[in-house]
Amino acid sequence: MGSLDLPLTGLVYIDANCLIYSVERVEPHRTLLEPMWQQAQDGNLTIVSSPVLVVEALVKPLRDGNTEIEMQYRELFAANAVRLLEASYGVFEDAARIRADTRLKTPDALHAATALRAGSALFVTNDDDFRRVEGLPIVVLGDLLAEGSQV
């Protein structure tokens, strides 16, 4: 397994899968993401995302009636462990353009637009589709996991 190279400065944007892997302790992704959370807790970087993250994270625990996981997400949001960036008209317009150009799904286009508009130094995801977004400084967790399997 490779390691997640974090920027020394700037915002680190996370897609919903990163939060889900961490809260729901999905291995080996959780372990790969742990240094990012530690750096944020130490005040060395800021983890950000779109408010659409709230919808993506809460749907499954709400559907399943899993109040324990639901509360863990709510506590993270209340503690601002992930700073939710503004969902302005401009972000939605940018998302429409990204969606038209790349055929990303609407939530993913919103993530990409939000990250680009915020000038994120790194976009962390496990979704290859984000590679289609020009100018997005992306790292795909699956690539890091594959690094360790290549001998």
User: What's the CATH number where 106 sits?
Assistant: 3.40.50.1010
In whole angstroms, what is the distance from residue 86 CA to residue 51 CA? 8
In a domain, 39, yes or no: yes
Full domain range(s) for residue 79: 11-149
Total Cβ atoms within 10 A of residue 44: 12
Query: pLDDT-based confidence at 150, cuts 50/70/90?
Result: very low
- Predicted model pTM: 0.93
In whole angstroms, what is the distance from residue 39 CA to residue 145 CA? 20
Reported as a single tens digit per residue, the pLDDT across 124-140 is 999 999 999 999 999 99
70 close to 61: Cβ distance less than 8 angstroms: yes
Reported as a single tens digit per residue, the pLDDT across 32-56 is 999 999 999 999 999 999 999 999 9
In whole angstroms, what is the distance from residue 98 CA to residue 28 CA? 31
In a domain, 2, yes or no: no
Q: Strand 122-125 vs strand 83-84: parallel, antiparallel, or unpaired?
A: unpaired
In whole angstroms, what is the distance from residue 140 CA to residue 70 CA? 26
In a domain, 140, yes or no: yes
Q: Indicate whether 25 pLDDT > 50.
A: yes
Number of domains in the chain: 1
